[in-house]
Amino acid sequence: MITESHFPPMNTPTAFPADSLKIGTRTFSSRLIVGTGKYKDFAEMQSALDLSGAEVVTVAVRRERLFNDKGQSLLDALDLKRYTILPNTAGCFTAEDAVRVARLGRELLEQLGNPGASWVKLEVLGDKKTLLPDPMGTVEATRILTAEGFEVLAYSSDDPIAALRIKQAGATSVMPAGSPIGSGQGVLNRSNIVLCLELLKQGDASYPVIVDAGVGAASDTAVAMELGADGVLLNTAVAHAKNPLLMAQAMRHATIAGRASYLAGRIPKRLYASASSPWEGTISYIPGE
Amino acid sequence: MLLINGQRCDVPTAADGQITITALLEHLKLASVPAAVEVNKAMIPKRQHTSWQLRENDAIEVVTLVGGG
pLDDT by residue (tens digit) across A16-59? 667 899 999 899 999 999 999 999 999 999 999 999 999 999 99
Instruction: Check if A121 is active-site.
Output: yes
Contact between A248 and A270 (Cβ < 8 Å) = no
Helix (H), strand (E) at residue B23: helix B21-27
The rounded distance, in Å, linking the Cα atoms of A30 and A55 is 6
Residue A66: band (very low, low, confident or very high) from pLDDT cuts 50, 70, 90: confident
Mutate to test the interface with A, among B8, B9, B48, B65 (most CBs of A within 10 A): B65
Backbone dihedral region of B57: left (phi > 0), alpha (psi from -120 to 50 degrees) or beta?
A: left
Residue B4 Cα, gap to closest chain A Cα (Å): 9
Q: In what order do the strands lie in the sheet with A119-122?
A: A119-122, A151-156, A173-176
Helix ranges (H only) for chain A are 42-52, 74-77, 95-112, 135-147, 160-168, 190-200, 218-226, 236-239, 244-264
pTM of the model: 0.90
Is the pLDDT confidence value at B14 over 80? no
Does domain B2-63 bear CATH number 3.10.20.30?
yes
Q: For residue B52, which of B60, B27, A220, A234 has the smallest C-alpha distance?
A: B60
Does domain A19-264 bear CATH number 3.40.50.970?
no
Mean pLDDT of A107-115: 95
The sign of the torsion formed by the CA atoms of A58, A61, A64, A65 equals: negative
Q: How many CA atoms lie within 13 A of A285 on its CB side?
A: 2
Mutate to test the interface with B, among A64, A155, A175, A234 (most CBs of B within 10 A): A64
Contact between A41 and A20 (Cβ < 8 Å) = no
Cβ contact B4–A107 (<8 Å): no
Spans of all domains in chain A: 19-264
Residue A100: band (very low, low, confident or very high) from pLDDT cuts 50, 70, 90: very high
Is the pLDDT confidence value at A7 over 60? no
Say whether residue A63 is in contact with chain B using an 8 A CB cutoff.
Answer: yes
Query: What per-residue confidence (pLDDT) applies to A72?
Result: 78
Is the pLDDT confidence value at A96 over 90? yes
Cβ contact B67–A105 (<8 Å): no
The rounded distance, in Å, linking the Cα atoms of A78 and A99 is 25
Cβ contact A64–B30 (<8 Å): yes
Which one is catalytic: A22, A40, A81, A121?
A: A121
Say whether residue A88 is in contact with chain B using an 8 A CB cutoff.
Answer: yes
Between A9 and B15, name the one with better pLDDT.
B15
Residues contacting A235, CB < 8 A, separation 6+: A34, A35, A36, A37, A38, A58, A182, B68, B69
Is the pLDDT confidence value at A6 over 50? no
Cβ contact A63–B65 (<8 Å): no
Helix (H), strand (E) at residue B27: helix B21-27
